[in-house]
Chains A and B, each alone.
Chain A
Amino acid sequence: MKVLIVEDERKVAGFIELGLKEEGYVVDIASDGEEATTLAHVYEYDVILLDVVLPKKNGFQVATELRREGRKTPILMLTSRDALEDVVRGLDAGADDYLAKPFRFEELLARIRALSRRGGAERMEVLKYGPLRLDRLKHEAFAG
């Protein structure tokens, strides 16, 4: 299982990396939003752990971009701010789950396992029904 950790706080990224490696995962770390999208383009990850507050590009922007490009990799957002706002924004941006800091590593593990069981984001950005097409990200609807 290959996991991408997107987290700029080195200590936090550190223990997640150690814990996941002990569980047998292969781990990459990105410390800013741009590095995250670059790595996500190059490699196929089973789960992406995505912090919200990042240099260069924030977590919401990364998630939105990845979804827009059709990537269905499960995304788990890590929030350290007013949880509710971030959670709503995160889920709307395409994240599949969230965890507020500080969190138990065991819980993070369990959620990662649950996400990889679901096998990819079921969320569809463009809904089609017959001649009708609804783009949920661009808020556009087409008929015919």
Chain B
Amino acid sequence: MPNSPLPVHDRLERLVAGSTELALELSLGGVLRRVADLAAELTGAKYAAIGLLGPDGRTLESFVTHGIPESERARMGNLPKGHGVLGSVIRDGKVLRLPDLTKHPDSFGFPPHHPPMHSFLGVPVVGRRGVLGDLYVTEKEGGRHFTDEDEHLAVLLAARTAAAVENARLHEESARLLEEVQQLQRSRERFFAMVNHELRNALAATYGWAEMLVRKKDPTTIPRAALEVLDSAEGAVALINDLLDLSRLDEDRLKPVFQQVSGELVARQALSRVTPAANAKAVSLRLQVAEQLPTCLTDAHRVEQILLNLLNNAIRHSPPNREVSLLISRDKSWLVFAVQDQGPGVSAEDLVRIFDIYVTKAGEERSGFGLGLPLSRRLAQLLGGELFAVSHHHGGGDFVLQLPVVEPES
């Protein structure tokens, strides 16, 4: 640091050169560091600091210093809270120049480990929409006071700082938006890959069994083949419907219609709709309803959709001549539907994966689960409830749908 202050002309040139560097700095942290260094240099101060206000416009979100070694900085602890003299510059939005900071009425002393400071010059940093923060320099070299020129330079620097801060913030915001867009793009690609995979599988079965019918090698297999064609075609249609629902959910276009619904009624409707499929496999269906169930404020159509999915899965996984049960009960503020089957059940590692939509990279391939469960879970959440699977020690699948019970005003 020079012993006598540089002539103003040189300092102005330094300000201009420094401002250019500032304008090119794209990171907010970089801007603050350069400003602190430049402020100290231009005014011949030992210490400099720049504080930026956070979104609430009152508390500091960053405070970068010059002249305080990192180790001491660490010992000083938290950001200043904007009390005392520092705070008054921000609040008043005016320049404050003091020969001795400690003698100001607003001064309330320094925190422990804080270096002593006397001469003080504080300048607000004012952006397009008001005060962004403030710039301070303290301890002018040689024990002198800060001059008119120092103040003038500091004010000029503060103006450049405001522009640089706003610029850096804009840059960070646009980088963030770009990242979001890229994420959406990746999401879209994964969605299409998933659609491709699921449709190909659904159609492969339809195609293949239809071909068996055309080949007509063994007439006794015709009834089975015909059934399989129909069933897989239905599966493909169900897939497309599920995809549409998922896409609507994503775009927030799926609006539930809330009414007072009787859980038992919806359950009976769902059961009657899956009865043909159950009969085809000689699977028996059982309904168990607890006493005094409250009605539920929810969307009956979507609840039935979820129950149909769970029941169809259960029937599909159930061995023949066994039972699939649907139990309805109340658990505190939840109406609980449990669908149980006696099939192989869900392995512990699959308990979470089955609700996942995407086929991902090798080794993590999700397979053969369809879209029903992921969709059902999202529907459950849309209705304010939750859907999960439970693993049983004695085997068998157990899926639980819980919906919030909102007692109607009476």
Partner of A80, one of B204, B211, B350, B362: B204
**B362 partner residues in chain A, CB cutoff 8 A:** 58, 60-61, 89
Choose one: B204, B221, B235, B359; the contact of A101 (CB below 8 Å). Answer: B204
Instruction: Assess the B207–A8 pair: CB atoms within 8 A.
Output: no
Q: How many residues of B contact A (CB 8 A)?
A: 31
For A26, the chain B residues whose CB sits under 8 A away are none
Q: Determine the interface band of chain A, counting residues with CB < 8 A from chain B.
A: 20 to 34
Complex: A82 Cα to B197 Cα, angstroms: 8
A residues near B196, Cβ cutoff 8 Å = 80-82
**Known contacts A58-B365, A60-B362, A82-B196; A12/B215 CB under 8 A:** no
Q: Contact check: which of B193, B209, B221, B350 meets A82 at CB < 8 Å? A: B193
Q: How far is the CB of A22 from chain B (nearest CB, A)?
A: 4
- Alpha-carbon distance A100/B196, docked complex (angstroms): 12
Q: How far apart sit A89 and B366, CA to CA, in the bound complex (Å)?
A: 18
A69 to B350, CA, bound (A): 29
| Option from A19, A55, A102 in Cβ contact (under 8 Å) with B368 | A55
| Closest residue of A by beta carbon distance from B208 | A15
As a 0/1 sequence over residues 1 to 34 of chain A, the CB contacts with chain B under 8 angstroms (1 = contact) are 0000000110110111011001000000000000
Bound together, the chains give a CA A104 to CA B207 distance in angstroms of 7
Per-residue CB contact flags for chain B residues 346-384 toward chain A (1 = under 8 Å, else 0) read 000010000000010011011110000000000000000
Q: Output the least CB separation between B149 and chain A (Å).
A: 68
- The reply to whether the CB of B88 lies closer than 8 angstroms to some CB of chain A is no
- A106 at interface, CB cutoff 8 A: yes
B207 adjacent to A11 (CB under 8 Å)? no
Q: B245 within 8 Å of A by Cβ?
A: no
Known: A53-B366, A61-B362. 5 other contacts (CB 8 A): A9-B204, A12-B204, A22-B218, A102-B200, A104-B207
24 contacts between A and B (CB under 8 A): A11-B232, A12-B201, A14-B205, A14-B228, A15-B208, A15-B225, A16-B208, A19-B215, A53-B197, A53-B359, A53-B368, A55-B368, A61-B362, A80-B196, A81-B196, A81-B359, A82-B193, A101-B200, A101-B203, A102-B204, A102-B206, A104-B211, A105-B211, A105-B215
Please report B residues at the A interface, Cβ cutoff 8 Å.
193, 196-197, 200-201, 203-209, 211-212, 215, 217-218, 221, 225, 228, 231-232, 235, 350, 359, 362-363, 365-368
